[in-house]
Structure 1
Amino acid sequence: MSQTILRQFRISFTDKDCNEYYINSPEDFLSEKALLRREKYNIPITNQDLPVCNSYLDSISNIGAKLYVTSKWFNSAVFGIESDSILSLVKELSFVDTVVYVAPHRKNEKGSRANVENVQTNPFLEDTIRSFYGDFYDETIFLNAHHLHKNNYWGRNILISVMDAGFQNVDSIDVFKRLFTENSLKFTKDFVKDSVQIFEASGHGTSVLSQIVGYKPGYFTASAPFSEILLLRTEDANTEYIVEEENWIAGIEFADSAGADISVASLGYSRYDDSLQTHPYSAFDGKTIRISIAADIAFSKGMVVIESAGNYGNKPWKYIAAPSDAFNIISVGASHKDSVIAAFSSRGYTYDNRIKPNIVTIGASVSVINTNGKAVNSNGTSFAAPMIAGYTACLLEAFPEATPTQIKMALEMSSNKYFSPDSIYGYGIPNFNKSLEILKDIIEERVAIESEITIYPNPFDSILSISIKEGYNEKITVKLYNSSGIEYFSKSINRNSVIENITVDQLGNLPPGFYTIKIIFGKDCVIKKLIKL
């Protein structure tokens, strides 16, 4: 018997007018944890949070289409449609705005990405700290992250959403045992919806997850073994079509509704099997590609969003993959253990000249657990982002009131190239012990947050204006550094008025490029990035 072929289309709707949910009753469509996160950060519930109208979905299904995923943020859904006649009927519906082809039929046979290559297994190490972390010792020490655990921060009560192609054998591997015995696995959901079960599909997510919750002291102790987890399958490992971005969007919306504190995905998109769907470099401006827009929406809802930068660095397409071009997410590149960038690690900048990747960590010959439960070495930015997510969970445990902006700031400011960022390392390798100290300063307001100061224009030509909020009447020092950390300008000003702005002129002769401005006033300090035209 032949299988029905269903081409996939993204259908956008005109409105949410027939919605059965109401903004003033958010408990009907958002979890308690999601509502608490919004309350903590003073984030309003809006029409964007309302689900897609069920009556619209039912009407299209009744015509003969098959529903796959929905997006409340974009007010759209992906349907499988068998024939042109059904497609024509869908297009005629009054509530349908646009219809876009996103993929051919789904394949229902089992399949997965290749298992993580077993390059070598590491010997058991006898030193106390070494023996505790086991095969994950180098990765932990590289980021100075053992200080988080030393201070008893393990990611407790922090919910991490992990999106991937599958999590093969996670339910039977020793290092994941705690997930099940401690009820730390809060939910699993499959957005690919083929015949493969989430614990049978690709082993890629198994290795990704191991860097977060792997826990077998003496063998493999990962970054946040006591955190809580959502496992979401959004990637079809057999093919690459733009529909996978729709799955990713549906996944992060689910994570938002579930109240996830952190979303991490070792998935990125730029090149597709259908070349017509491939994104041009000009689209990587943070506001064109849907998945990148969705990443920033998730950030605006109070989530820390962490993404692998991509593995295109040594290919003709060398740039980051979406959604790494999003404005507010943390894009993670890969280095070797000697801090030299991995050749495959995708490069920045974004099309609009923003720093990407944001940070880097070990992603070449990096330790992971494979589907056989063995510690092996593998390669990829896929195995750099998860450890950053785990240690970020430890930071959030230490400072649960910290906002995503403050977390991102602390990671970047702690990195070794913060004053000389580039398109290869971004801000460099973070130091999580230093991040902890910086975050403490931020929370205690000894370092001013960005909203307290305005610097304009940016980009600038020859003159900068600085406006500081009322209450700062002390001596102010302004310093300007180039991308190599060389000080180009320094000026101290006695500011007695709360009204006048500070003008920094005579900058016309500076070479074009990236600059860092540091403004010191009293015990406070603001550091921002600028572009000289």
Structure 2
Amino acid sequence: MRVQRSIMRKHQFHICQFLLRILLLSVGFLSMPCFAADSYYFFVQFTDKNNTTFSLDRPEEFLSAKAISRRMEQGIAYDSTDLPVNPDYLTQLTNHGLKIHSSSKWMNGATVLLQDSSLMAQIRLLPFVKTTEYTGIKTESISPAPRKINKLIEEYDYGTAATQIGRLNGAALHNAGYTGKDIIIGVIDAGFQQADNNIAFDSLHLQNRLLGTVSIIDSTIDVFREDAHGANVLSIMAANIPQQYFGTAPHASYWLIQTEYVPTEYKVEVDFLVRGLEYADSVGVDVVNISLGYFEFDDPVMNFTYDDMNGKFSRASRAATLATQKGIIICNSAGNEGNSSWKYIASPSDAEGILSVGAVDVNDTIAYFSSYGPSADGRTKPEVCAIGLNTALINRNGNPATGNGTSYSSPVIAGLMACYLQYCKEKIPHTYDVEQILTHIVQSSDRYNHPDERYGYGIPDFQEAMNSILTDVIHNRKKDTSHSVHYIPGSGDLKIMVNPFTTGRSCQVNIFTANGNLRFAHKFYDSATIHLNNYAAGIYMVQVISEDKISLTKIMIH
């Protein structure tokens, strides 16, 4: 986990693995480490999703009601990345002696475990396998090294969190009643030590707002007995100790997702992160905080280069962008490499469409460790900054403490983004989208007109962002959440999506020409695709009538 490099370094006990590696030309990947390991990780990339048993017309089979509702509210179409990988492909891998650790529908592949790496020669010959990549080892359990910490209506007593929230005008949201209620935040991290009995999270448990935990690494892991880093991150958003601490999203609900394995650092953790994002999407998470970043691994052959930080090379970065396209707000720590030889942001903070968060001190001066941008393809990074030097938090013992790192500036932003999303849902229901929300936050920042490689666009002002929503005239009409309409010009497909969790699932679809002539009429009982390739160029109106809603969408066929 390179984001916290200035706070903790990984164990360095696998030196022999890259000193004694040899090239297996017949297989096409490097040999395995010389020491004993439980098994090896590989990522197997599939060629397609042909003949899958799943259908985009039945999203309820692979997405939760909350996930489908999030898509419908933002008018986001389902696509092939939503379909699970072909189960038959996984079965064939298993029949060849591989253990399926996890599959990735977004990347269309699977992380597998095997003890005999020579089996991969056979796997690469399978017709549905595009590529294979060695991504790490699974060793005997190792105790993690201790992590070092370097030293309205209603008004809230923020306690030690007052400065970091006040600098962003976050109290404007809280005092207006927007504290994250009914918003789900996913925290992707290394572990959440003692978060199950920490006094700071009493209300989280009593109000049943801790929705669940999962370890992507190993389903038998108890995330509450793992590393404390994620618990610190969680406290910045969720902690509530009267007169001592009040987090940035104290009334949000949370999913705790472990993807980072602290003792070692291999590229397989990039794939764990991908699976963590997919899991967050499937359970209906609205906002995700990722205080992790990858560029350097225990095996230097796996290392990324700065040229790789283009938002497209790393699977984790591509997954982060996909998550935003599916309606999730992603906040990612920019990294703590500002005073190291690497210097730059890491993956997935290089992703497009997310908020990469740098760190400043209480005087708005950039923290010495905050990683530099831009991305390798020239995009402004980080996007925003928050206090990450002496950030107030609640430690695993339930006491106020401070910590350093962009790992801690990111949840300051993420929590307030949840509150801002709650505000948008009320003020512009069913018309907001992630791009619009992020645009308002960036435009509210104090360096918006002169961004740079350290601050990005600067420090956001959530009061100003609230005002922007009130004057935003781009969206001025409620959409019908029982269905949505999407025309894809390149393919000529008109997609009608019917929410399977609403009553009265059927809908009547009528397509009219510009002069009012009815060209098409049909009643659908499920989501459907209408092919318009044979329609003449021009303007058409698509009318969709469901049980008690009517929508009218104008499309242009070229």
TM-score (norm 1): 0.79
1:13 and 2:46 matched: yes
Give 1:439's aligned amino acid.
I
CA contact (8 A) 1:110 1:196 kept: no
1:372 deviation in Å? 1.4
Give the 3 Å change call, closer, same or farther, for CA 110–174 of structure 1 in structure 2.
farther
Structure 2 letter corresponding to 1:418: Y
Instruction: Provide the residue aligned with 2:548 in structure 1.
Output: none
Q: Aligned ranges for residues 19-34 of structure 1 at < 5 Å?
A: 19-34=52-67
For the residues of structure 1 that align with 2:351 and 2:310, how far apart are their CA atoms? 7
Q: Which residue of 1 aligns with 2:82?
A: 49
Relative contact order (alpha carbons < 8 A, sep ≥ 6): 1 or 2 greater? 2
- For 2:135 and 2:209, how far apart are their aligned partners in 1? 35
Matched, 1:72 2:105: yes
**TM alignment of 1:378-457, pairs within 5 A:** 378-400=403-425, 401=429, 402-442=432-472
Of 380-389 and 214-223, deviating more is 214-223
Q: Distance in 1 between matches of 2:225 and 2:364?
A: 35
Q: What is the aligned partner in structure 2 of residue 164 from structure 1?
A: 189
The answer to whether the Cα contact below 8 Å between 2:39 and 2:139 also exists between their aligned partners in 1 is no
Tell me the amino acid that sits aligned with residue 319 of structure 1: Y
User: 8 Å contact 1:13–1:95 — kept in the other structure?
Assistant: yes
After superposition, the C-alpha distances for 1:52-87 in whole angstroms (9 at most, x for unaligned) are: 122221221232222222110111011111113422
Shift of 1:108: 4.0
**Match of residue 184, structure 1, among 204, 209, 215:** 209
Q: Which residue of 1 aligns with 2:516?
A: none
CA distance in 1, matches of 2:475, 2:86: 43
Quick one: which of 98, 101, 124 aligns to 2:131? Answer: 98
Structure 2: stretches of 5+ with no match in the other structure: 1-34, 477-558
**Equivalences for residues 165-244 of structure 1 within 5 A:** 165-193=190-218, 196-244=221-269
The residue type equivalent to 1:109 in the other structure is S
* Equivalent pair of 2:38/2:140 in contact (CA under 8 Å): no
Q: Distance in 1 between matches of 2:36 and 2:219?
A: 13
* AA partner of residue 79 (structure 1): V
Contact 1:113 1:204 in 2 (8 A): no
Offset at residue 117 of structure 1 (A) = 2.1
- List per-residue Cα deviations over 1:231-273 (Å, max 9, x = no partner): 1100001111111110111010111111111111000111111
Q: Matches of residues 111-130 of structure 1 in structure 2 within 5 Å?
A: 111-112=143-144, 114-115=146-147, 117=149, 119=151
Alpha-carbon shift at residue 4 of structure 1 (Å): 5.8
Residue 329 of structure 1: how far off its partner (Å):
0.6
The Cα of 1:113 is off from its aligned counterpart by 5.4
1:377 matched to 2:407? The reply is: no
The answer to whether structure 1 residue 83 and structure 2 residue 116 are counterparts is yes
Q: 1:47 to 1:96 in 2, by over 3 A?
A: same
Take 2:145 and 2:354, find their aligned partners in 1: how far apart are those partners? 26
Give the root-mean-square deviation of aligned CA atoms: 1.9
**Contact 2:337 2:345 (8 Å CA) reproduced:** yes
User: What are the ranges of 5 or more consecutive residues in structure 1 without an aligned counterpart?
Assistant: 120-127, 447-533
Q: What SS does the aligned partner of 2:467 have?
A: helix
SS in 2 for 1:239: coil
Which of 357-366 and 396-405 deviates more?
A: 396-405
Aligned ranges for residues 271-420 of structure 1 at < 5 Å? 271-400=296-425, 401=429, 402-420=432-450
Secondary structure of the 1:267 match is: coil
Deviation at 1:116, TM superposition (A): 5.3
Q: Tell me by how many angstroms 1:3 deviates.
A: 7.6
The 1-side partners of 2:194 and 2:146 are apart by 14
By how many angstroms is 1:340 displaced? 0.5
1:86 maps to amino acid:
L
Q: For each residue in 1:23-42, what CA deviation from the matched residue of structure 2 results, as whole angstroms up to 9, or x when unmatched?
A: 11110100011111111121
Matched to 2:175, the amino acid is K
What is the identity percentage for the equivalent residue pairs of Structure 1 and Structure 2? Answer: 37
Cα-to-partner distance string for 1:175-221 (whole Å, 9 max, x where unaligned) = 11122211111121111117642111110000000011111121111
Name the SS for the 1:199 alignment partner: helix
Contact 1:116 1:370 in 2 (8 A): no
2:316 match: secondary structure: helix
Kindly provide the amino acid, as one letter, of the partner of residue 206 in structure 2: T
Q: Aligned partner of 2:445: which letter?
A: S
Post-superposition, which runs of at least 4 consecutive aligned residues in structure 1 deviate over 4 A?
443-446
Once residues 54 and 170 of structure 1 are traced to their aligned partners in structure 2, the CA distance between those partners, rounded to angstroms, is 36
The one-letter code matched in structure 2 to 1:324 is: S
In the TM superposition, residue 320 of structure 1 has moved relative to its aligned partner by 0.6
| CA distance in 2 between partners of 1:174 and 1:115 (Å) | 21
In the alignment, the residues of structure 1 paired with residue 40 and residue 472 of structure 2 have an alpha-carbon distance, to the nearest angstrom, of: 50
Q: Give me the whole-angstrom Cα distance separating, in 2, the residues matched to 1:56 and 1:84.
A: 19
Q: Give per-residue Cα distances to partners, 1:434-455, cap 9 Å, x unaligned.
A: 1111232226659xxxxxxxxx
Q: Residue type of the partner of 1:150?
A: N
8 Å CA contact retained: 2:37, 2:139: no
SS at match of 2:185: strand
Contact preservation (8 Å) 1:29, 1:257: yes
When the two structures are superposed, what TM-score results if normalisation uses the length of structure 2?
0.75
Q: Secondary structure at the match of 1:133?
A: coil
Tell me the CA shift for residue 88 of structure 1: 2.5
3-state DSSP of counterpart to 2:235:
helix
Letter in 1 for 2:268: V
Residue 335 of structure 2: SS of its match in structure 1? coil
Q: How many residues align?
A: 435
